[in-house]
Structure 1
Amino acid sequence: MVDMPFGVSRLDSMLDGGVPTGSVVLLATEPGAGGRKFAHTSAAINALATTNNAAFEHHYRGIDHEGVIVPATVHYLSVAATADSLEATLTETVSSEIAAQATDGITHHDLSQPYFEATDVPDAWYQHDEQVSTLPGVDTVEEIDATDPFEYAEDVRAITDDGKGEERPDAAADETETDGDTRSMTDSGGHNAPDTAGILSVLRASLDDAVGGNLVVIDAITDLDDLPDETVSWEAVVRLLRGLTRLVTDRGGLVLVVADAEAVTDPQLGSLSAAATGTLSFSWETGGSQRARLLSIRELPGALDRLDRDEIAAFESELHDRGYDLSNVRKIH
């Protein structure tokens, strides 16, 4: 079994390296409870492995197990967030030094324009010069420090007999009907409609490009529930996640899907969890004068049997310059 690290030191150590590749893990988080911080840390630390391996070794303090690979590249998909830069977003969680070094190894997909086009928000509030920005980074494995204890994931996309990459259809092109995404490239009379693809089409195209031996973060899939049902139905969102799980199983890599637990109903959150291969739950525990962030592993196939046989209920977490990490372990006896 080949594993890919989350980039969260203590959790990866307890899991003997990380989570099996081909996994789609839902990060179901209460506001501020750590799910988004977990995603920021995962993206930054895994990207640091390719942009500055010495810094990765210093900050990650990770593990050296056989069968563990770091992602070939990192992709960060922002559904509705309109931060000035991904580096500024990461600095909310990790140190500015780590964020600056890691950002060069991350491809940022800003999907806010097609998202807000489906709303009544004024264009000037969200428009950017570029919708997808590929930041300069390490392009080939040969540029990586050969002393790296990890092997690097290869692009597992299919190769045709003539040696060229297999062509996949563009998910955003010439759609007359999509799963709940009612924008179309032609109108009822067959004339060209405005050249704007719906958010699900753009999201599918970004995922089709990103998935394959990589770490992919979707932040946050529950943003789609804010859109009118005639534009994006919740059933379509669940089908998208279910299809994504199958795609990642075939191509490998790891996908982290941030879900704001209070933005949707419990049944909606349950449907997302059922469509993924694993779920981590982030919540607040209140008591006395202090609050503690708790991480609970609800499901993580191929990894739960590696944990201590004591019945682990939850982990307390902490934030430091390396981002999100675990501290105390809560157990049920």
Structure 2
Amino acid sequence: MKYRYPDLRIMTGIKFEQHMPTGLSTLDPVFDGGIPPGSVVLLKGDIGSGKIEFAYSSMIHLSHLMNRESTDEKVLIPKDICYITVTKRKESILREISQSFHEDFLSHIDRIHFEDLSDIYFDTSLVPITWYSEYDDIIERMTARRKIHDNLLTTLSFTLDDVPNQSLVIIDSLTEIATQYIAAGKWPDLSAYLRGMQRVAKKWNTSFYLILTKGILSPYQEIEVADAMDAVIHFKWEESSSAKRQRVLYIEKFRGVMIHLEDRDLVKFAVKITPERGFEVSNIRVVI
């Protein structure tokens, strides 16, 4: 008697064919429409290489698609887009975005909600309170402080618990979080936390972008972070044949997707960033 394998779709209730678009029209075709929902994606790269612009462009494009009924059951549009920072102010991020991209491109940016965890981050540093706290009055500050938990990762957990399932979360400060935990001698805590995030993302059907500046962590720590991810997209500068600097995107790892990319020789692309459309992949059919 031939053994019949169980139907995993029935057992888990997961629609494996679904994908969540990145919103980047030049990249989504590479992923056959988007990334698997619940993916934790590490955006790793050199300074100025395009990793931040990738995150900005993706969330801005997706903000145009939110609140629309999709006629394609395979397409999973985020119910919410949450941008979490631990060092920057919301106003600073919005100013940077408005200076980088065309006004028409930003027409639905108010659909993105921001969470600022800078108080818990800077409270353990020597930075004066007046430099980062929004509250001048000590009573106001103490009232706000009650909403903050005992450490940064615990506060982050409570923040993520409030995000609706089937969302996109961007954490722009993995570099800062990692260096803080290294300095405190608590690297294993962060490593375990990232693996827990990778696990619960599938339960929530929520995708994550975690932004990491390359070269600040040790090679061992970078590898450990990458190992906890579903995908690693590496952004870097390269010299072209004309001795001109070119931004390049490498797809180093993508569970469930990589084998199809390699089969079509789609793992490395030239990148450009424009005010009208944000982050774009060029030479989409050609490996450079």
| Common fold: TM-score over 0.5 | yes
CA–CA separation in structure 2 for the residues paired with 1:239 and 1:43: 27
In structure 2, the residue matched to 1:331 is 287
SS where residue 256 of structure 1 aligns?
strand
Equivalent residue runs for 1:108-187 within 5 Å:
108-128=114-134
Structure 2 residue identity aligned to 1:243: G
1:17 aligned onto 2:33 = yes
Q: Corresponding residue for 2:277?
A: 322
- Look up the match of 1:255: 208
Query: What SS is found at the alignment partner of 1:67?
Result: coil
Q: Pairwise mapping of residues 155-234 of structure 1 onto structure 2 (< 5 A)? A: 195=146, 196-197=148-149, 198-210=151-163, 212-227=165-180, 229=182, 231=184, 233-234=186-187
Map 1:256-275 → 2, pairs under 5 A: 256-275=209-228
With normalisation by structure 2, the TM-score equals 0.81
Q: Distance in 1 between matches of 2:267 and 2:110?
A: 37
Provide the rounded CA distance (Å) in 2 between the counterparts of 1:118 and 1:102. Answer: 36
In the alignment, the residues of structure 1 paired with residue 273 and residue 163 of structure 2 have an alpha-carbon distance, to the nearest angstrom, of 28
Kept after mapping to 2: 8 A contact 1:4/1:19: yes
Measured against aligned partners, the alpha-carbon deviations of 1:162-184 in whole angstroms (never above 9, x if no partner) come to: xxxxxxxxxxxxxxxxxxxxxxx
Distance in 1 between residues matched to 2:267 and 2:283, nearest whole Å: 11
Q: For the structure 1 residues 262 and 308, does the alpha-carbon distance in structure 2 shift closer, same or farther, using more than 3 Å as the test?
A: closer
Closer, same or farther: CA 64–272 of 1 in aligned 2, 3 Å? farther
Partner of residue 292, structure 1: 246
3-state SS, counterpart of residue 27 of structure 2: helix
Partners of 2:271 and 2:280 within 8 A in 1: yes
SS of 1:19's equivalent? coil
Partner amino acid, structure 1, of 2:20: M
Distance 1:92 1:282 in 2: 22
2:45 to 14, 29, 39: 29
Q: 1:4 to 1:310 in 2, by over 3 A?
A: closer
**Against the structure 1 CA distance between its residues 235 and 327, is the aligned structure 2 distance closer, same or farther, given a 3 Å change threshold?**
same
Residues 63-113 of structure 1: per-residue CA shift (max 9 Å, x gap): 9865012101100001212352542243354323323x2321111001111
**Structure 2 counterpart of 1:245, one-letter code:** Q
1:75 alignment partner, SS class: strand
Q: What is the number of residues matched between the two proteins?
A: 258
Q: How does 1:78-97 map to 2 (within 5 A)?
A: 78-97=85-104
Give, in whole Å, the separation in 2 of the partners of 1:328 and 1:31: 23
Mapped partners of 2:79, 2:171: distance in 1: 17
Q: How many Å separate the matches in 2 of 1:102 and 1:233?
A: 39
What's the C-alpha RMSD, in Å, of the aligned pairs?
2.5
What are structure 2's unaligned runs of at least 5 residues? 1-16, 137-144
1:19 CA drift (Å): 0.6
Tell me which residue corresponds to 2:139.
none
Hey, what's the Cα distance between the residues in 2 that align with 1:91 and 1:299? 32
- Say yes or no: does 1:104 pair with 2:124: no
2:43/2:234 contact within 8 Å kept? yes
Structure 1 gaps, min length 5: 54-62, 131-193
Percent identical among aligned pairs is 27
- The one-letter amino acid of 2:125's match is T
User: Counterpart of 1:27 in structure 2: which amino acid?
Assistant: L
| Aligned residue number for residue 155 of structure 1 | none
CA–CA separation in structure 1 for the residues paired with 2:195 and 2:225: 8
Contact 1:211 1:248 in 2 (8 A): no
321-330 or 78-87, larger mean C-alpha shift: 78-87
Shift in Å at residue 292 of structure 1?
0.6
Q: Deviations over 1:177-234 (max 9, x none)?
A: xxxxxxxxxxxxxxxxx84532122111112222620011010211113326464722
How much does 1:42 deviate? 1.2
More helix by share: 2
1:297 is displaced (CA, Å) by: 0.7
Letter in 1 for 2:245: R
Q: Which amino acid is 1:326 matched to?
A: V
Partners of 2:183 and 2:44 in 1: CA distance:
25
1:262 and 1:318, CA in 2 relative to 1: closer, same or farther beyond 3 A?
Answer: same
Counterpart for residue 194 of structure 2: 241
Evaluate the alpha carbon distance shift between residue 4 and residue 253 of structure 1 in structure 2; reply closer, same or farther with a 3 A threshold: same
